[in-house]
Amino acid sequence: MKAATRSIFTLFPSGNQKTEIPLNLLVPPFTNVQDNLPTLGTEEVLFATCTAAGSKPPAEVRWLTGALRDKMRTTTNSTQYDNGTTTTVSSLFGLPMREINGHQVQCVISSDSLTKEETLPFNIQIYFSPTEVNIRVITEDSFECVTEANPNANFTWSRSGQALLQSAVKVEGAKLQLLSLTSDLNGLYQCEASNTYGSKHGQLFVHYHLASGACSAVWALVGVLFFLNVVVAAVWYLDKSRQLQRHRFRLFWRRVPTNEPAGDSAAQQEHHQMEQSP
């Protein structure tokens, strides 16, 4: 911006003199970086714009992208106004992939109207709805809903077919704790993860047979029944073995051949009977 100032000087002895002195005014820019809120996708989008507004002389605006240099491209446009100031806008483009989410880049602004370069840091944010929702087992009675989302997801626990028993469960964000391991808490539980871009849910089926206080008695009963089954099986096996041995002996006795005449054998049997009679 150029301006002129008129000054009157009094010189002795020549008198008054008049002259005009031109002034060159420097106007520093107003600077900012604006996030374009890109969402996860496969096509190139605008990530952010860096603006140096109303500067004189025009400002230079550039991006420092570091390791993302090959994955980014920039464009720069300037608009000049009647008052001699200029607004310069530099835009940053790229593919909205999850891998670059959270990476930092810098917008650097330089101008004769600034005493030094101005650097504006910017964290690239790729926004997306919750991904697959998993339920992690922390302890026997504690569970946690896990997902990935940007911005971070909000979590809501519910129970299928009936309301959560406030006196029996404790909910803290993504975590669900069952305060008593009883059959009253059996059922299907659902964790919903949501943000402004969408929602997903995961499910957990809980089934407790008995209260924890009765578990020891149940296991003792199971042990006794198992022992009795083993004893019965052993007795049955021994009995079957004895019967089999007797059967084999009878078959052997019946099949043993003899070389004695049949008459002699009958006589011997009669003699044997007479010896046994009184």
Residue 235: its pLDDT value, please?
A: 64
pLDDT beyond 80 at 221: no
The burial class, CB within 10 Å (0-12 / 13-18 / 19+), for 124 is buried
pLDDT beyond 50 at 262: no
**30-123 shares its CATH topology with 134-213:** yes
Residue 130: its pLDDT value, please?
A: 96
Residue 216: its pLDDT value, please?
A: 41
Give the residue, 233 or 157, on which the prediction is more confident.
157
The pLDDT tens digits of the residues spanning 90-135 come to: 999 999 999 999 999 999 999 999 999 999 999 999 999 999 999 9
Q: Give the CATH H-level superfamily of domain 134-213.
A: Immunoglobulins (2.60.40.10)
pLDDT beyond 90 at 245: no
Q: Where do the domains of the chain lie?
A: 30-123, 134-213
The pLDDT tens digits of the residues spanning 39-85 come to: 999 999 999 999 999 999 999 999 999 999 999 999 999 999 999 99
Q: How far is CA 274 from the centre of its chain?
A: 99
What is the rounded distance in angstroms from the CA atom of residue 78 to the CA atom of residue 59?
A: 9
30-123 folds as: Immunoglobulin-like (2.60.40)
The pLDDT tens digits of the residues spanning 249-258 come to: 454 445 545 4
What is the rounded distance in angstroms from the CA atom of residue 149 to the CA atom of residue 98?
A: 10
